Amino acid sequence: MAILDERHRQVLTAVIREYVETGEPVGSRAVARRQGLGLSPATIRNAMADLEELGYLSQPHTSAGRVPTDLAFRFYVDWGLGDLRLPESDAARLRQSYARPQGGIEQFMEQTSLHLSTLSHMTGVLLAPPLKQTALARITLIPLSDDRVLAVVVTDAGWVTTRTLTVDSPATEEDLREWSRQLTRRFVGKTFQEILDQLSAPADPLDPLRARGGALVDQVFSLLRDRQLYIGGAPNILEHREFGDLATMRTLLRAFEEKARLIDLLSALADERGVQVMIGRENPVEEMQECSLVTARYTYHDRVLGILGVVGPKRMPYSKMIPLVDETARLVSESLSRVRHELYLPS
């Protein structure tokens, strides 16, 4: 990123603000008339030409104005935003949403992605929980009938995931108790990712647990692979003119439908502290390179549990999106700290 003097910084910031508001290529006269820089159109035009040479602006057509590049938006996010505060009306609305959460944990997570979507007019996303931050405390297998077993997976943070599994041959209550003890003893304290990595190695054919309960054990460990991605307001993003043509729209919707890569991306971002902003081609998911992604991780009893954020066009109003995501992550963390341990994760 080239170092800019004060005039070029002012002009670039003004162009970005104009473009965020209008979505149209920006001309020097519009900047001079609307952005209050106190500079003549000729001075602004020369500065914009310099900024184009430096890679901060591009010109879609010879006779058109200029539009900010990914580099310009990165400059704007890093240097041009100033003090970030969520409008009080939005902050109050958000606080009210979390004052008395309704329903179970799955509904809570789904509602959070919808809150983000509603207040941002973009697409809200929430991942719960990334594998790397989740460690096992206990596995319990409970008989329900001859061919059905309830698997209960408890994490070290006290979260509980349950699922009813189907068995090919009946297992006695004593068998299930013994398998529960063996599974817990082998894997307690390991993260889900460590467990899955260990299980990817060739199995010991003499392992009695695998020999007798192999199929059921495999179903239990499939629970550890479940990371639930909530997407709220996916159609919102299509209302922005950047995604008006059919090809761009289909490309973006494909990224939302093929959740695996988006889950991996969000899981990686959960390692980062604070609000993260990924702009355009900074995103390794090619279908999302016309977007920006603003994220923050949320916690449960001071442990990183997941990540949430918004997806929108690169010209999103970052000065609002960043504090919105930051405040939502804080409120989600506070809300989760007040719930009972007997919450059930979506599975």
- Whether the pTM exceeds 0.85: the reply is no
Q: pLDDT by residue for the chain (347 residues), tens digit each?
A: 678 999 999 999 999 999 999 999 999 999 998 888 889 999 999 999 999 999 999 998 777 789 999 999 999 999 888 788 888 988 998 998 888 766 667 778 889 999 999 999 999 999 987 566 678 899 999 989 878 888 888 888 777 777 888 887 777 889 889 889 989 999 999 988 888 888 777 777 777 776 676 778 788 887 777 778 899 998 888 888 888 778 888 888 888 887 888 988 998 898 889 999 999 999 999 999 999 999 999 988 778 888 999 999 999 999 999 999 999 999 999 888 776 443 434 33
Q: CATH no. for residue 182?
A: 3.30.390.60
Same domain, 217 and 234: no
Residue 223 burial (CB count, 10 A): 18
Q: Which of 180, 198, 222 is the last residue of a domain?
A: 222
Instruction: Domain of residue 274: give its range.
Output: 88-130+227-338
Q: What does the pLDDT look like over 12-31, one tens digit per residue?
A: 999 999 999 999 999 999 99
Same domain, 268 and 241: yes
Same domain, 104 and 238: yes
Q: Which of 195, 222, 249 is the last residue of a domain?
A: 222
Q: What is the pLDDT of residue 228?
A: 80
Q: Which of 164, 198, 222 is the last residue of a domain?
A: 222
Same domain, 103 and 70: no
Same domain, 315 and 231: yes
Same domain, 143 and 185: yes
Q: What does the pLDDT look like over 160-197, one tens digit per residue?
A: 777 888 887 777 889 889 889 989 999 999 988 888 88
